[in-house]
Amino acid sequence: MREIDIYQVDAFTDVPFGGNPAGVVPDASGLSEDTMQKIAREMNLSETAFVVDTRGKGPADFDVRFFTPLNEVDLCGHATIGAFWLLAETGVIPPGKNEVRVTQSTGAGVLPVDIVFGCEGTPARVMMTQVPPRRLGELSLDEIAELERILGAPQGSILGFERARPQIVSTGLPDLIAPVSSREALLSMRPNMAALTDFCNQRKVISVHCFSMETLDPRATVHCRDFSPAVGIPEESATGTASGATGGFLVMNGLIPLEEPVTRIICEQGHVMRRPSVIQVEIHMAHEDPQSILSVRVGGSAATVIKGKIRIP
């Protein structure tokens, strides 16, 4: 039997038991796809990241694969934050004077990851770059009404948001971004997960990411909930990829003031699950034009809560 190191890292929080937990295998060299899937199922977290150090050997510094308990996905925001926080914390990525940039090869392409170190040489923040947002579709009024019923949302709470309809937006993964008229309506949702799985599969989206512009923290921009039953995650306490897509949605639909060259957004999530999360989003633009987005960065802090070894054949 072979033993490998495995960790649980809570991402998008600075304290244990907050944020979104991710499994991280910092050295997945030689692991087969089947073994990685079994480890992810054993961890039973929304995602587990498997890292291989490829510095000097490939197109990126690290090769990273992400598995839910059910299947592999191209990209995962909170598992990226957790994985690179751990690599910085354990010294695999040494500290620099300011931000240290490395690259990860993922199913969504080769993407930069920036680590900000504190004065003691420990990580303070990890920011992952996502691809510029693409609008892949918009729901009809009939589809919005169906979505309200499936989510158990108050009638008219999504239809009633008149400034933008729900849209499928991708910054690496296709997410359905759905604005909701109030935080009360958002928190009242009790989705029919079987029906929502079918709804997502029919539209080929990873999640339905709902947000309200009414927040608990006055410094936050939006309060969010994310439902991803189609990939085995009924609800997630922090969702990095969908937060990037939400930032793109807010900018492209003119829902927030723009700042040149970077519009900063704070997403709060996970409160209904008693795992409060803070996700920082940066929208980089060529100029103050909603259609001139150059890139999206998503990140925050993390806390390593479990270190162990797993035995594999």
Determine the Cα–Cα distance for residues 57 and 76; give it in Å rounded to an integer.
23
Tokens (6 digits) for 310: 């797993």
One of 3, 42, 47, 268 is an active-site residue; which one?
47
Residue 198 backbone phi and psi in degrees, to 5: -65, -40
Is 47 labeled as catalytic in the residue annotation?
A: yes
Contact 139, 152 (CB under 8 A): no
Residue 181 backbone phi and psi in degrees, to 5: -70, -25
- Bridge partners of 211? 179, 224
> Which of 78, 19, 14, 18 has the alpha carbon at shortest distance from 49?
78
Contact (Cβ atoms closer than 8 angstroms) between residue 81 and residue 113: no
CA distance 183 to 211: 8
Sort strands 262-269 and 277-285 into parallel, antiparallel or unpaired.
Answer: antiparallel
Tell me which H or E stretch contains 87. helix 77-89
CA angle 77, 80, 84 (to 5 degrees): 150
So which residues are the catalytic ones? Answer: 47
